[in-house]
Amino acid sequence: TKLAASGVLVPISDSLRNALSQQDLFRFSACLALVRFCGPHVGAGNITSVQEAIRVATGVLTLPVDLHRPQEQLETTENLKASCISTLEALSSNASLWSSISKDALPSIVTYLHSSCDMGGVDAPARRNTLSAALRAIVRIIQQPSHAVASARAGLAEPLARLVIGGTQGTSLEMGDDEMPLLALEVLHVMASNPEARRAAKLFECGVIESVCCAIAKSATNKPKKPTDGRADVAFWGLEILHEWLNDMGGLQTILQSPFAQGFMEIVARDPNFVKALCSTLLLRTGMKFGKFDSDPKETESIPPIYGPPLVLVKENCAGFANTHIAALNILFAICVLDVALEFNKVWGIILLENTKSSEVDDSERLSATFCAHFLRLLMDDHQDKIFIPIDPRSMDAFNTISRPLVRHSLLDGLKNSLSKRMGDPYMISMVVAFEVPRVCLSVWKDPALAEPAFALVRLMVDSHEDDLIHIFVESKETLLSLFDLLNADSEVETIGDQAEQIRGVVASILGSLAENGLLTESVGKFGVRSAAIAALASACLADEKTTADDDDEDQLATSATMSSRCMQCLVELLDGGKGKMMTLSPGEAVAIAQSLGQKICHMVISRFLERAKLDQYDMEDEEDVMDAPDVKMLCALAQHSGALKVVASIGGLHALSLIAAEGELSAILALKIACEENPSILIDVDGHISVMKLISEDESISWRDETGRRKIETAVFGLLTDLCEFTKGRRAVTSAEHCADCISHAAHVIGALVVEEEHQEVTKTIAVVEEEETEEANNKNDEAEAETGRDGDAEAEVETETVTDEHNEEETNNEITENPMTTGTVAPPLLPPTYARKKAISSDSKLESAALSFLAKIVSIESCRKALMSDTHFIATLSLLAKDTTSFDLQLQATAFLSQVAPFATNIKMEGAVSTTELAEAFIEVLQVQTLPLSKSKGSEVNANSLKSIAAEGLAVIFDDTPEEHQEKAIRAVISSWMSIIKKNTVQRNTGSESDQRDSARLAYGLSILLARASSMGALRKILADMELLKSMIHVVEWRYDSKASNNDQMYWEVSVSNSIQHLSSVICATEESQKVLGVSVKALVSTILTMARPGKAPRKTCDFSTALRRVVETKRDLSGAAAAERILKRILH
C-alpha cells in the first residue's frame, strides 16, 4: 500500500510500453508484477498511471497467434497473455478501476476468450487457469449493470457459452478444482439477470441456451456433495437463465410464433438427459415409491429409476419460484406444451421412454405410467402445491384453456397406452390407486377437449378385470365424489353423439357394481359423503324420464333394469332410516333431493290425498295409511331444512306440505312456520293456514296419540298463526278465516285452563290498619268500621285458604318499603264476586300456553277479535292472575305485555267486550310491587325483571288518568318503590347486570319518571311525592348522570328520567317554605345530598354535589327544559 502511494507506478505505463517495443520480456514481466501487486491499492489520485498500464497490458491479449511459429514462441506468447490476465484479475479487486477495465480491457478479454476457444486446448490445465482468472475478473466488474451491458455488447456471451459446453464434457458435471465452467455460467447468469444486457447478448443466437441446457443436464445427481456442491449453482443459474429467456419471448401465443421456439425444441430433443433430469426431478416428489394396494401400509412399490438422477434442490427463490425443483418443473411444463403445440412430437417420446432397450420395457412402461399419473395429479385444481400455476395472473387464461389441456391430453394418452399393455400388473393397480387416477380422469372428464381420452381410460379400467378393479373407484374420497359428479354427464360435458349417454352408462355400471358388493354404502359412510352421493343419485333417478314420458306403463321406470332404477335403489339404501323412523338428511342432502326430485315428490303426495278423497279405501300395501307413504316421509324430511324448504316452496310444494300438516304431522307444521317467516303469501295463497287452523277447531276429527303430542302440535299451530299475523296480509287472512273464532276460543281455553274458579266462603271481620303493632289495641277502639273478609285460594295448594287482607295493609307494606309510612284509615273492601280465580300449579312446559297467548296478542288489535276475548271474564281474570304470579316469569311477562297492549281500549267502568282500567291497574301495580323475580327459562332470552316492570309501567301510564283515586295512590306508592330501587341499583350499588339488563333499567326508569311527572300535578298525591327519600333518589340520578365520569349508555332514556326528576325537584324546592314544612321537606338536607357510588374492586367514591350537577345541566344544555328548571333551583338554593 505504501509503495502504491509513493508514486512508483507513475512511469510504469511508459516502462511497459518501452519493454514491449524492445521485446524485453523480463522487464515487461517485472513491470506487470509491480502493477499486479501495487495496482489494487492505488488511490484515486494515482489511478491514471494504472489505467495507462491497463491499456498497454491488454494490448498483449489481442496479439495474433500463428500456429506455424515454433512451439517455444507460442508458449512465450501464451505466458505473456497469462501474466496480463493475472494482472487484470488483481486490478479488478480495486473498484475504482472497474470502469477502466470494462472500457479498455474487456474487449481484449473477449478477443482472448474467442481465440482460446478457436484454438482448442481449453482442457489444458494452464489454459483453464488463465481462462478462470479472466472470468474471475469479469465476475467482479460485471456486477454493475452498465458493465454487464457493455460485456454483452462486446460479444462476451458467445465464448462463455462455448466455455460452458467445453467445460462440461462427459456424462456428468463434477465441480472439483476446475471452476472455469462454473464461472462462465455465473457471468452468463449476471448478464441474463439484466434485461438490457440479456437482449444485447442474444442468448439463443450465441448458443447460451444450448449450453445452459447441457450444463443443467450434467448437473443432475443423486448424491450432492456436502456442505456445498457447485452443481447446485449450475442448476440454479441455468434455470434462472432459461426462465428469463422464455419470459422475454412473451405469452404462449407469442412463443408459438417466435422463430426461436422450434430451435429451442431441437436443442431439448438433442439432449435427452436434460429432459430425463427434469422428469426425474418431478418424480422426486413421490420419494420414488408409493404404497402397495391391499397390503400392509408399510409395504411399498419402488418407482424404476430409469430417468436417471434429478437436479439438486436449492431452497432459495429461483426465477420467482420457491426453489430450483419447482422452477425445473415449470420448464418441463413449458417444454411439454411447446412439443404438442408446435407438433414437434419428439420430446414426448423421450418422456414416455419409447426408445427403450428390450430388457427395460417392463420398467419403462411402469415408469412412464407413473410419471403421467403423478403429473396429472399435480395439475389438478385442488392439489395443495399449485406448482404449475403461472406467476403472472395475466397468463391464467391461457394456462386454463390451452397449456394445461394440451399437457393433460398427452398425459392421458400416454397413461392409457401404458396401462393397456399391463392393466393386470399389481404395480399398475397400486399405482392407479396411489395416484388417484380414477379421480383425475373423472375430474378432467368435464372438459370437452379431454372427455374422450379420459373416458377411454376409465373404460379401460372398468372393462379390464372389472371385478378386481371396481374397488379403485372408492379408495379415496375425491374419486368417489368425482364419480357422483359424472352421473349427470349430459349437463356437465358438451359432447357430441351418444358419448354423454355412454359416460353415464359407465358410471351407472360402476355404481351398480359397488352397490351389489356393498362397497357403496360402506365407502359413503367411510368418507362422509352422504350429501354428495344423495345429490347425484337423486338427480340420476330422473335420468330416464324423457324416454319413459310417452310410455303407457307407469310402473316401467320402477321395475325395469335401467340406470335410474339402480340409482334409485342406491338412494333408498342410503336414506332408509328404518321402519317407523323419519329419514335424517343434512342440509346439503335435502337441497339436492329437493332440487332434483322435489316436484315429483310433491306431485305424488297430492295425488295420494286426491285418491284418498275419491276412494272409500286407499289401496296401499300392508294397509298403510297415507302418512306412511315414502313420498310423504321424504317431503317431511326435506321440509326440515330451510334450503330445501325454499326449493319446495318455489315449485309450489307448500300445498302438498299443508295437506300433510292437516293430518297433524308436527314436522310439516313446523316447516310451514319456517316457510312463512319471510313471505306468508306463499302459504296463504294455497290456503295452508286454513289446513292447520282446522287442527284446533275440529277436535273430533283428529285422533291424538297422547296428550304430549297434542300439546306439541297445538303449540306449533299457534306458532305458525303468530308468524302469519306478523304481516298485514297474514293477519287479515287468519282473522277472516272461517275457523278464526274457533282458534280464538281454543287459545283462550288453553290459557283459561291455567286457573280454576271456586265459590267464596264469606265471613266478616273487623279490619283495622295501624302504624305500629304495639298500638293496635288503642287504635282498634277508635276504629268503628267493619269490613267483610273472604278467603283467597292459595297459589300452591288447592285445599288451603287464607284470610283476604285489606288494601290498607298492602299500603302499609308499601309504606315500609318506601320508609315513609302514611296515616291511613279504615276502608271497607269491595264485595267479592261469588267465585274467585285460583291458579293451578304450572308445569315446567308451558310452551302451548305461551304460544296461544302470543297468537292472541297478534290479533287483539282487531276489534272483532278483541271483543270476543274481552267478553270472556274468565280469560281476563286468568290474565290478571298470570300477570301477578311470579312462579312462571315467561307467562307473567307475556300476560303483562298483553294487558299493556289492550290498555288503550280499557274503559272506566266494566263493560261487556271491554276490560276496565281498574282490573288493569291492579295487575300492573302488583307487577311493580314484586321485589324479586325468577329469570326467564327461555334459551337465549334477554328479558329480565326490568323488562317486565317497564312493560307494566308503560301500561299503567296509559290508564293512570282514568284510574280511581285509591288505585292512583296505590300505584304511585308502587312506582316510588320501584323508582328508588332501580336508582339505587344503578347509582349506589352499581349492580347493573348484563347489557340487556342495563338497557331495560334505563327504560324502566324512564317509564317510572313519566308516571311520577304525571302524578305531580295531582294534589291528592302531593305529600307522597314529597317524600325525602324519593327526592334524594332524584338528586342522586342527577348527580350520577352529570358526573364527569358518567357513562353515556342508554342516554336517551336516562336523559328524560333526569329531566323529569329536575322538573319535580324544581316544583318542591322552589315552593313556599310553609308548604315545605307541611310536606316535611328540608331543602338544606336535599342540597347537601351527595351520591356515593360503589366501584367494583376499588374504594367507593363521591360524585359531584347537587349544585355542581345543576350547573352542568345549565352549561351543557343537553336538556333545555331541564336546564331551565335547574337554573330555577340554583337561584333558590344559592339565594
Cell of 877: 281474570
Question: pLDDT digit string (tens) for 157-182?
Answer: 998 888 888 765 544 555 444 688 88
**What's 847-898 look like in SS3?**
HHHHHHHHHHHHHCCCHHHHHHHHCCHHHHHHHHHHHHCCCCHHHHHHHHHH
pLDDT category, 762, cuts 50, 70, 90?
Answer: very low
802 vs 146, more confident: 146
Q: Is 196 helix (H, G, I), strand (E, B) or coil?
A: helix
The mean per-residue pLDDT over the stretch 831-860 comes to 68
Query: Judging by DSSP bridges, how do beta strands 791-793 and 801-803 pair with one another?
Result: antiparallel
Helical packing angle, 917-929 and 965-986, nearest 10°: 30
Q: What percent of the chain has pLDDT above 90? A: 14
Residue type, 493: V
pLDDT value at position 81? 81
CA angle 876, 834, 761 (to 5 degrees): 125
How many C-beta atoms surround the C-beta of residue 115 within 10 A?
16
Q: Which residue has better confidence, 935 or 750?
A: 750
Share of the chain above pLDDT 70, in %: 78
Nearest to 765 by CA among 739, 734, 791, 737: 791
Which pLDDT tens digit goes with each residue over 370-392? Answer: 999 999 999 887 667 778 888 88
* Confidence band of 238 (pLDDT split at 50, 70, 90): very high
Average pLDDT of the residues in 1088-1100? 80
Rounded alpha-carbon distances, angstroms, from residue 303 to 232, 293, 917, 1066, 1090: 24, 15, 93, 97, 89
pLDDT tens, position by position, 1035-1061? 998 888 888 676 666 678 888 989 999
The conformational region for residue 202 under phi > 0 = left, psi -120 to 50 = alpha, else beta, is left
Question: Would you tell me the crossing angle of helices 1106-1116 and 1028-1041 to the nearest 10 degrees?
Answer: 50
More confident residue, 848 or 783: 848
For range 1082-1109, the mean pLDDT: 84
- State in Å, rounded, how far the first CA of the chain is from the last one: 99
Q: Tell me, what DSSP letter sits at residue 805?
A: P
Residue spans of beta strands (DSSP E) within 105-221: none
Beta strand pairing status for 1098-1102 and 1092-1095? antiparallel
Nearest to 963 by CA among 1004, 918, 1000, 925: 918
Mean pLDDT (the chain, rounded): 77
Residues 842-867 have a mean pLDDT of 82
Question: Cell numbers at residue 857, please?
Answer: 296478542
Helices 530-540 and 587-614, axial angle in degrees (round to 10): 40
Instruction: Work out the pLDDT band at 30, boundaries 50, 70, 90.
Output: confident
* pLDDT value at residue 373: 93
- pLDDT confidence of residue 323: 93
User: Shortest CA distance to 675 belongs to which of 643, 704, 707?
Assistant: 643
13-27, 221-235, 433-447, 729-743: which has the minimum mean pLDDT? 13-27
Tell which wins on pLDDT, 404 or 488.
404
- Tell me the mean pLDDT in the region 474-490: 74
- Among 87-91, 194-198, 906-910, 1098-1102, top mean pLDDT goes to 194-198
Q: What is the DSSP string of 559-624?
A: HS--HHHHHHHHHHHHH---TT------HHHHHHHHHHHHHHHHHHHHHHHHHHHH-SS---GGG-
> Is it the case that residue 329 has pLDDT exceeding 90?
yes
CA-to-CA distance for 110 and 103, rounded, in angstroms?
12
Predicted confidence (pLDDT) at residue 414 exceeds the cutoff of 80? yes
Of the pLDDT bands very low, low, confident and very high (cuts 50, 70, 90), residue 324 is: very high
> For the residues 857-862, what does the mean pLDDT come to?
86
Determine the Cα–Cα distance for residues 593 and 571; give it in Å rounded to an integer. 10
753 burial class (0-12, 13-18, 19+ CB within 10 angstroms)? Answer: middle
Answer whether 469's CB lies under 8 Å from 431's CB: no
pLDDT value at 834 more than 50 = no
Of the candidate ranges 30-44, 543-557, 931-945, the one whose mean pLDDT is the lowest: 543-557
Give the number of other Cβ atoms within 10 Å of residue 64's Cβ: 6
Confidence of residue 240 (pLDDT cuts 50, 70, 90): very high
Is 564:617 a contact under the CB 8 Å cutoff?
no
Mean pLDDT of 275-280: 95
C-alpha cell at 218: 450434467
* Residue 453, all three cell numbers: 381420452
Strand, coil or helix: 898: helix
**pTM of the predicted structure, to 2 decimals:** 0.55
Per-residue pLDDT, 8:
55
pLDDT, greater one: 498 or 633: 633
CA distance linking residue 639 with residue 649, whole number of Å? 9
> How would residue 943 be classed by pLDDT, with cut points 50, 70 and 90?
low
SS (H, E, C) 694-750: HHHCCHHHCCCCCHHHHHHHHHHHHHHHHHHCCCHHHHHHHHCCCCHHHHHHHHHHH
Read off the pLDDT band of 410 (50, 70, 90): very high
φ/ψ (deg, to 5) at 202: 55, 70
Mean pLDDT throughout 429-442? Answer: 85
**Residue 797 buriedness (CB in 10 A; 0-12 / 13-18 / 19+):** exposed
Residue 757 has phi, psi (to 5 degrees) of -110, 135
With beta carbons less than 8 A apart as the criterion, state whether 89 and 136 touch: yes
In whole angstroms, what is the distance from residue 733 CA to residue 1007 CA? 36
- C-alpha angle 951-956-958 in degrees, rounded to nearest 5: 105
* Residue 779 confidence (pLDDT) above 50: no
Which residue in this structure is represented by grid cell 271491554?
914
CA-to-CA distance for 1068 and 1016, rounded, in angstroms? 10
DSSP H helices in 517-562: 519-527, 530-540, 545-548, 556-559
User: What is the pLDDT, as a whole number, of residue 822?
Assistant: 32
Local structure of residue 392 (DSSP, 8 states): S
Q: What is the dihedral sign for C-alpha 768, 771, 772, 778? A: negative
Question: How many Å apart are CA 545 and CA 558, to the nearest integer?
Answer: 11
Strands 835-839 and 801-803: unpaired
Are 513 and 545 contacting, i.e. CB atoms less than 8 angstroms apart? no
pLDDT > 60? residue 726: yes
Instruction: State residue 168's pLDDT score.
Output: 55
Q: What is the pLDDT of residues 603-633, one digit of tens each?
A: 777 877 777 777 645 454 444 577 767 677 7
Give the confidence band of 359 by pLDDT, cuts at 50, 70, 90: low
Given the DSSP bridges, would you call strands 791-793 and 300-302 parallel, antiparallel or unpaired? Answer: unpaired
**Mean pLDDT across the stretch 387-412?**
89
Residue 5 pLDDT > 70, yes or no? no
Mean pLDDT across 990-1005: 78
CA distance 308 to 305: 6
Yes or no: say if 64 and 35 are a contact pair by the CB < 8 Å rule.
no
- Alpha helices (H) along 22-124: 25-38, 47-61, 71-91, 98-100, 106-119
